[in-house]
Structure 1
Amino acid sequence: MRMVEQPYLWSSIERKCLYLLQQRNTLASILKIHAFMLRNAVETNVNLLTTFVKTCASLPLFATANPLAGIHHARRVFDHRPERDEAFLCNTMIQAHVDMRQFVESFILYRDLRRNTGFTPDGYTFPILAKSCGFNVAIWEGLEVHGHVSKLGFGSSLHVSTALVDMYAKCGKMDCARMLFEEMTERSLVSWTALICGYVRSGDISKARLLFDQMPEKDAALFNAMIDGHVKFGEMGLAKKLFDEMPDKNVVSWTSMIYGYCHKGDVESARLLFDAMPDKNLFSWNAMIGGYCQNKQPYEALRLFQEMQSTTSFEPDEVTVVSILPAIADLGALDLGGWVHRFIRERRLDRATNVCTALVDMYAKCGEITKAKRLFDEMPGKETASWNALIYGFAVNGRAKEALEIFLEMRRERHKPNEITMLGVLSACNHSGLVEEGKKWFKAMEEFALTPKIEHYGCMIDLLGRAGCLDEAEQLIESMPHKVNGIILSSFLFACGCSNDVMRAERVLNKAVKMEPQNDGNYVMLRNLYAMDERWRDVEEIKGLMRKNGANKEVGCSVIEIDGRVREFVAGDRAYPHLKSLHFVLELLQKHMKGQII
């Protein structure tokens, strides 16, 4: 903020106050400085008073138990100021409210100053107000600011006009932003960036790219904005082209590209970029670790997490642990999960609800459902996702009764269930064969203003099929508003196999083969049914159909954590170094189970 020229040399007391205000202060020390200023009557120095207001309003969180205590005291000091109309002091107070996201207070102060004092806005006032309107998408107040700008003759100011363009863009009024931009006699890089980023946010990437290509000069921030825009709309080809054209690539652009490739499922390209990065930061590591988790490659995510721990000085943050915990859950790496939990407690990251929710989910999927429940009960605040994690955790651990009890408790606590909640409830009914309970809650989705998705139908069809209600399950398939997919057909085919309904299984397989000709599980189910009936010719026909359609049986694998290391075993792997020892132990276990060894 611009200060007025000092009309006189500062006294030693004033210089001492200025020095104290520049130190690392707490609310207590600020109050002492204020008392010292009042005792020595130096609050009449407007420059010093402005510095005091700014320092007090921006006290960091560690400096006070109440994060608003600083801004409240600054406002009290401002309201009792000796000078009533100094623009830079008034601008400082308005800016302080905006920085604390107090939009209403900033605008009320501006209106009161104009109405009750001799305050005259200047070229610094309107960009502050425009920023406040943009943050809060307050278009009516923004129009008022624009009217005052025109009335007081600041429309030709590059700084003010740019702020108004950015405000209209953030409010989604791209026509107004473009009109104002076209009227500007002078434009800066910031002006172009504000309009282009507005088009990106509004989803009009073509207009954003057209403006970008017309720009006389471009900086790294604008390249990053355009790359990020193309990434968000899945245009990785255009994003890569811009990335290659970028003269000085920074860590933001590299990370945006990594995120984009991961989001598209191209983890290999993302890893190539990650490995080629000259400088990585924590955001880069988080993007790549999260990318592996999103694309169902937990082993790679875990390996990269361990590499980050051993080769860099970066400490995992909230984003890192929320990314890696699902991978730990998928692998069942409970020892590592316990280490991450201890790390979270030491760094006090367990205050964040999303971190606690990820921990509940991890423990539940690793079979430690009691620990998951205890952690859930200790959470300071719960979101819908937290309830969902515990409901689903009880469901997958075969404890349907507890899952439904948690769901009922969730409703008593007035947390509104969503589609994921109901999927967990239906899964609980499915795992325990609670057909009538499942029907009840499937129907109740209408009461919760939720429309069943194909996943909910799939869960119900699987529940009915496992319970032997094949006619009802098939009727639900035919009546559902969604197009049947391969997962539902495979599930229903499995149910036919469990009920030994060969004719129905043949009919379902014909549909499944047309949809997923290379899904080996569908063929195997019918082949086993034929084998049970000793229909060997039909068995050979199924094998021939599998060869014709290229349906090769996937190699089975399992993962186990031993002494903090995750080991993977693949079926048929004869090259494993301890294969003989493993088979010897397995044979002993088989003899124990048969009672041959006491």
Structure 2
Amino acid sequence: MRAAARTKPPGPPRRRAPGAQPVAESKPAKARPPVTLLLKSLRSFKFRLAGGPPLAPTPKAFKSYAETCASILRLCSADAASSSSNPSTFSPSTLPLVVLSVHAHALVSGLAADGSVASHLLTAYAAFARAADRDRAFLDCVSSGAASSFSYDFMVREYVKAGDIASARRLFDGMPERSVVSYTTMVDALMKRGAVRDAVELYRQCPLCSVPFFTAMIAGFVLNEQYKDALGVFHEMLSCGVNPNEITLVSVIKACIGAGEFDLAMSIVGLAMKSNLFEKNLGLRNSLITLYLRKGEPGAARRMFDEMEMRDVVSWTALLDVYAELGDLEGARQVLDTMPERNEVSWGTLIARHEQKGNAKEAVSLYIQMLADGCRPNISCFSSVLGACASLQDLSSGASIHAQTLKMAFSSNVFVSSALIVMYCKCKQLPDAQRIFNSLPRKNTVCWNSLISGYSYNAKMVEAEKLFTKLPARNAASWNSIISGYAQNRQFVDALKSFHAMLASGHTPGEITFSSVLLACANLCSLENGKMAHAKIIKLGVEESVFVGTALSDMYAKSGDLDSSKRVFYEMPKRNDVAWTAMIQGLAENGFAEEFILLFEDMISAGITPNEHTFLAILFACSHRGLLEHAMHYFKMMQACGISPKAKHYTCMVDVLARAGRLAEAEDLLLSLESKSEANSWAALLSACNIYRNKEIGERAAKRLQELDKDNTAGYVLLSNMYASCGKWKDAAEMRILMKGINLKKDGGCSWVQTRGQYQAFFSWETKHPLLLDVYEMLDLLTWELTA
């Protein structure tokens, strides 16, 4: 906790909103004097701009003279962006020369030691983008002792504005006295760069507080999706007696939305109304639209939009998001087309929604249209479109977008870099992903997690493990990356070990974690570990998630506990097509033919449209139960639903025909769709030929299988077995000799036992197990006991 003894600094001066009319004053504002008049006033003190010894003025005259120099510099800064200056002795092109002349004169006359003159020199050089002269002027300020707190704050802000965070940090660390302004500037810059740990460190060091300082910290946490930390800072802000402004409250509402704290968000809205900030601030009203949308009340969000008397591009973008959340992406596009003004956020929102809904091609198309519309992509746009390219494995488009990020200097951003790493990993370009990772000057946890997941996706678990061990700071997403990597690569024991290590580290597992863990339990048939995970799920309150419920049901079914599987399935508050498919497959694998057929009919009655995976589960079940007529019926139904059969569907149909002894029909089916057939289809036919001892079709199937997958041992083994079953021992032996000649070995069988939470795996003809001698001694003892 931060100390509550922070002193509240005086409030900032009231600022006028851009475009607002100035408040009328009792006295008319004086017109500012032109640069030429000020220069004449310099000459009136008989000082010479071009050099020469100055006359010794009185202190009062010297102060007035310094004020005149500062006024000249201030007017030059104000006129820097103008196409013409006030009266017209000086054109905009000569104004920098005036600044240089005044600077030279200030050095000669000693005016450079005046704090006001020194400060205005910095702002004048910055206004004319003369960075080298600005830096020299600042060094002169420091050496002469004229550098004020404003000068340091200004230079830190200038370095940050130029993107030179390293120079800004060096200057900040060397400041004789840091102000809350410099702390705010550095915290904001580090958060935008993704260096959250460094920003938090500065936040804890700062002995001062102000509204902008807390707001920068809250907005930074929101930007980095650390919503609970943002709410913690807001709580501390209130504890220190600092009242939030409307900008703070907008960020706090975003944090509440991200953390799912909708009741707290409504309380913040009430606070804004009580403080009379809500009605006059458009940003707060826009935040309320998003809040209603995330609460699952799109109707209220639409009413809020309709009731707004004034709307801006953010309001229209929020409405676009309402349609997208409802799944009406065409309606969202119509809103985009009718918007009076569009920006990169509007386009980025629609691109992100298409990418999230799985419409990756449309997301890339929208990005191209956005560029044609003249909008400059932001970080969010790049992240979303690169995610779409990763889903499509479109290396060409991804590389083109990478070039655009380099051109726009976004490639070093940690969020864009993370998206690039994922894209290259999904496109099987691991060296490029590693090169981007190595080039990052600062790497946050997201970058590390992206590369770990990328190596896992490409089945490079050794490299993924090495990265995980080097990871400076692990979060829940880091553990998810390594656990899901193990599960995807069928290293289920390692997945469970990592899960237990995650619990020991104090990190809280989420839905993704449990999905991977339950997958591992299902494949290991480890009912004990599955029940332990189920208990943890109930304790954490995530059992109502459709993803977790589906994984639980599948785990129990694969472990043979059908009663628990059905209980979990029917207790789920919502069931999607994946949940129904998992339950159907569970019943089918356990031999409940009648029940899975009835469940499929219930699924249709419930209005759930079956997908290709559902039909695959049904056909798989029919093939294993020998239900030929049902398989033919569901195969035709799938085509009637507009689902084009894939290779796996044809494999199931070949298998069900072959099991029924209709080998010729199965072979004709495969030959009729040669381009869609896969090795498993011919292996299924060959296996049936072995059962029915059909040598002719078996030989043709074996030949085709070897052509499709020359390293597949199944064809050789099945053909050898078929020859043996027909009594052709010589042919069977030749198959085995042929396998040996081309260095093909049949995959060994594997078994495992669980003792005291540890898994011990055993392969046939095991030679490398560390307890090999003990195992064989025990086998000899058991054999002796059985035969004695």
CA distance in 2, matches of 1:309, 1:48: 38
Within 5 Å, give how 1:190-269 maps onto structure 2: 193=379, 196-197=382-383, 199-200=385-386, 203=389, 204-216=397-409, 218-269=412-463
Q: C-alpha displacement at 1:487, in angstroms? A: 1.0
CA distance in 2, matches of 1:527, 1:537: 10
Change (3 A) 1:286 1:544: same
Aligned match of 1:449? 642
Q: C-alpha displacement at 1:146, in angstroms? A: 4.7
Aligned match of 2:574? 381
Change (3 A) 1:206 1:86: same
Cα contact 2:246–2:277 (8 A) shared by 1? no
1:570 counterpart (763, 774, 777)? 763
Q: C-alpha displacement at 1:454, in angstroms? A: 1.1
CA distance in 1, matches of 2:598, 2:699: 40
Determine whether 1:291 maps to 2:477: no
2:535 counterpart (338, 342, 364)? 342
- Structure 2: state its 5+ residue gaps: 1-11, 17-22, 24-242, 353-362, 390-396
CA distance in 2, matches of 1:3, 1:481: 78
2:599 counterpart (388, 397, 406)? 406
Q: C-alpha displacement at 1:555, in angstroms? A: 1.7
Q: C-alpha displacement at 1:98, in angstroms? A: 2.4
Identity between Structure 1 and Structure 2 (%) = 26
Amino acid at match of 2:563: T
Cα contact 1:356–1:376 (8 A) shared by 2? yes
Local SS of the residue matching 2:761: strand
Q: C-alpha displacement at 1:474, in angstroms? A: 1.3
CA distance in 1, matches of 2:305, 2:473: 45
Q: C-alpha displacement at 1:338, in angstroms? A: 1.0
Change (3 A) 1:414 1:165: closer
Aligned match of 2:705? 512
Aligned match of 2:776? 579
Change (3 A) 1:131 1:396: same
Amino acid at match of 1:96: L
Local SS of the residue matching 1:302: helix
Cα contact 1:400–1:431 (8 A) shared by 2? no
Aligned match of 2:668? 475
Aligned-pair Cα RMSD in Å: 4.0
Q: C-alpha displacement at 1:202, in angstroms? A: 5.9
CA distance in 1, matches of 2:464, 2:568: 35
Cα contact 1:429–1:437 (8 A) shared by 2? yes
Q: C-alpha displacement at 1:504, in angstroms? A: 2.2
Q: C-alpha displacement at 1:357, in angstroms? A: 0.6
Amino acid at match of 1:290: S
- Structure 1: state its 5+ residue gaps: 8-46, 150-160, 183-190, 592-596
Aligned match of 1:302? 496
Q: C-alpha displacement at 1:181, in angstroms? A: 4.6
Q: C-alpha displacement at 1:388, in angstroms? A: 0.8
Aligned match of 2:288? 96
Post-superposition CA distance 1:30-88 (Å, at most 9, x none): xxxxxxxxxxxxxxxxx999799979988969x999x589759959996xx99899632
Q: Which moved more, 1:370-379 or 1:249-258?
A: 370-379
Change (3 A) 1:309 1:579: farther
Aligned match of 1:395? 588
Higher relative contact order (CA 8 A, sep 6+): 1
Count residues in correspondence.
520
Aligned match of 1:40? none
Q: C-alpha displacement at 1:228, in angstroms? A: 3.4
CA distance in 2, matches of 1:506, 1:542: 12
Aligned match of 2:651? 458
1:501 counterpart (694, 698, 702)? 694
CA distance in 2, matches of 1:3, 1:501: 94
Within 5 Å, give how 1:8-407 maps onto structure 2: 87-88=280-281, 90-101=282-293, 109=304, 112-114=307-309, 125-127=312-314, 129-130=316-317, 133=320, 136=324, 138-142=332-336, 145-147=339-341, 163=345, 166=348, 172-177=366-371, 180-181=374-375, 193=379, 196-197=382-383, 199-200=385-386, 203=389, 204-216=397-409, 218-310=412-504, 312-407=505-600
For the pair shown, the structure with the greater C-alpha radius of gyration is 2
Q: C-alpha displacement at 1:356, in angstroms? A: 0.8
Change (3 A) 1:64 1:569: closer
Q: C-alpha displacement at 1:100, in angstroms? A: 3.4
Cα contact 1:197–1:208 (8 A) shared by 2? no
Change (3 A) 1:423 1:164: closer
Cα contact 1:357–1:385 (8 A) shared by 2? yes
CA distance in 1, matches of 2:388, 2:439: 25
CA distance in 2, matches of 1:468, 1:275: 55
CA distance in 2, matches of 1:421, 1:3: 65
Cα contact 2:305–2:315 (8 A) shared by 1? no
TM-score by length of 1: 0.76
CA distance in 2, matches of 1:247, 1:50: 35
Amino acid at match of 2:551: A
Local SS of the residue matching 1:398: coil
Change (3 A) 1:409 1:282: same
